[in-house]
Chain A
Amino acid sequence: MTANSARTAGVQSIPELLARNVAAFGDKAAYREKEFGIWQSWTWSEVSDEIEALALGFLTLGVNEGDHIAIIGRNRPYLYWSFVAAQMVGAVPVPLYQDAAAEELAYVLDHCDARFVIAQDQEQIDKVHEVQDQLPGIEHMVYLDPRGMRKYDHSALTQYQTLQEQGRAKGDRAELNSRREKPNYDNTCVMLYTSGTTGKPKGVILSNRNIIETAKASSEFDHLNKNEEILAYLPMAWVGDFIFSIGQAFWTGFCVNCPESPTTMHSDLREIGPTYYFAPPRVFETQLTDVMIRMEDAGKFKKWLFHHFMAHAKKVGPDLLDGKSVGAGDKLKYMLGEALVYGPLKNTLGFSRVRVGYTAGEAIGPEIFDFYRSLGINLKQLYGQTEASVFITQQPDGQVRSDTVGVPSPGVELKIAENGEVFYRSPGVFVRYFKNDESTASTKDEDGWVATGDAGFIEEGSGHLRIIDRAKDVGKMADGSLFAPKYVENKLKFFPNVLEAVVFGGGKDYCTAFLNIDLTAVGNWAERNNIAYSSYQELAGHPEVLATMQSHVEEVNASVAQDPMLSGCQVHRFVVLHKQLDADDGELTRTLKVRRRIIEDKFADILGALYDGSSEISTETEVTYEDGRKGSIKATLAVRDAAVSANQKVAAE
């Protein structure tokens, strides 16, 4: 370690940050994981030893500089360390989505020329084995969890800890020391694959400069320090997790906590009580739905208490959070509410200690956003992309609103093109797409400006960016009026009963929509109203459910009609789908974004029925189960007409 401390002044790589952290606060907890019912913890010094042993192990496997090492698994400290161990020997870590099917993995593993794979368990190893004949480049695999692996042929397979022992015993320390000195700001730090909303995933190369500069700027923006606690539960292949759990964690030295299993996430959250928290809107929505359902089951007095104080929180909570002045009586009542309702509720949600919380990826419903803010949780929005190393804009404390995504992050320049598309330039801008110069050229110009693919504008006065929609999705309807599907979809999704919505209408006479019910919310409603159902499909097709959905659509229509520019986007006809849109079926990306074109093709018959005036449509849909097997479901769906509010323009005539 001492050999490196001389260079800490101008840190140029993650392994150097590791050395800096060991020197500065080696005894402080760096990673924790709940295992066997106890939070196991590792200090920065211990982490450094583990990473070094693994790096030495990589050398014994013959890892060369520039090799790609694929990492597949859920958030576990050992897997995070393998990122840094790879960087230490000059290799490039490439994390993959662990719930991807074998074929999806095959594409990325092949595209990135991975020579080595680090997998969490038997399931992941099996998936790679399944497609290994297509992947001659893979030489050796390492697995973490030994369960069920004893009988496998170990000629090209090693257990993680065995590899570390092998490294400690036989690894070439001199070679490791010379390799870890080499990386500079321009070397690749990590390669992350985009989720592929519109096509095949692209490999985004991010340099040490991208990651370290971004981690530094964003940590300073929110005054993050080494005492923060975060819970790492979002996919490791997603850029956000890399920035939070490695970039910012190594920059500030805070502690990354890994849940015991994906199913224990909520109780682990409560036990850790993170101070810095990130979740996509869907997580916040689910939590709010759960709270509301539980309140429905509570006694009368508790219910009254909850609604009474939540109404008060809604009135003054956000202002208190933003530091605006509030009357003394209101303040006192809020304090009482904190003791009786807000405090215990935050504790149940695991948000008691949250100092900075972010949501991004999709628009969040204003009611949902305000609910958390009124409780005194500093929830903010940010807007980012893999290509930007996450941060493009974010909301500063005290300037938080649900309809904007904030001001440019430190070091980021923004410009809006004539067609409304948002462009940015920053130290975080990616180097290039791997093996795809064509896409690189069409996304990033010579001056470093990157096209986001989103249409938006900068609000006058506040300087906040507002995103309207994906530029590609914004179109014209047959009569030439503006078509912005996302705008309408978001409004629909704000209803707890609506899980997903897809709006169509580009080039057509009127707009139509596919809806997915939220099984938790609608299921609970059904139970409460003694409505029996035996399957998702049956519940989704229940006449009363359809009527509720129709009322939601009509409410949205009324709200859309308020905006003269977008009033053409009212939903005239809709269908409640018989299956939930799913990433396993390719209808959503692994980060749960809608893949519009694929849905259009797959449900072409239903879409046809929305435009040919028929009142129902029989259809058969292929579904893919989690283990890759396929089946099909048949259904007859009702096509419903929704009332449309009068266009204001028409009304004026």
Chain B
Amino acid sequence: MKRQIPLVLVFIFGVLLAIQYFIPSEPSQKGYEFVLDWITIIGIFAMVLGIWSQIHVGYYKIRHRAEDWKYSVVTMVSMFGMIFLGLSPFGGLQGTTFRLIYTNIFIPIQATIFALLAFYIASASYRAFRARSAVSTVLLVAALLLMLRVIPMGPLADPINKIGSWMLLVPNLAAKRAILIGVGLGGVATALKIVLGIERSYLGKD
């Protein structure tokens, strides 16, 4: 019951939903609507697990005085503070302080974390982007040509733009298409393995 019923459920719903794609009849569409509605709701509850997990990790670190536990206090205080300020008496999603924190704390920090990557890609370009072999030289030249498109090159601008467009629409297209086809076949194979009960890791142990 603990393992077999979930496997049967996966199989039944997997097969039904796969077949549904080919049956555009009214009852089939209604059933499909129903399933989408319910599965979204179930998914919302799964999201709560993520929040709970965050609380659990923070609590554990603080309780056991793990390394950098003081920063976990920052995380926990800011998280509960944000939840508190987002409650209805303070205006919910339209609460003034809630919105100010999003705009003036969340946006700058998140944007800057990603901005740091600019420095690391510059460093990587300098230290690691080498023409060590014919294959890496092709990669390097392709990257350089794409980068040159951004720089105004006077009379060279037009040919460089043309090379860039050609690269994107011929070799890049072929390469990315092969990857897409590979990913697609892999995705279908994985989905089939789940539906047929070959892939069972989601059941966990015991």
| B partners with A | no
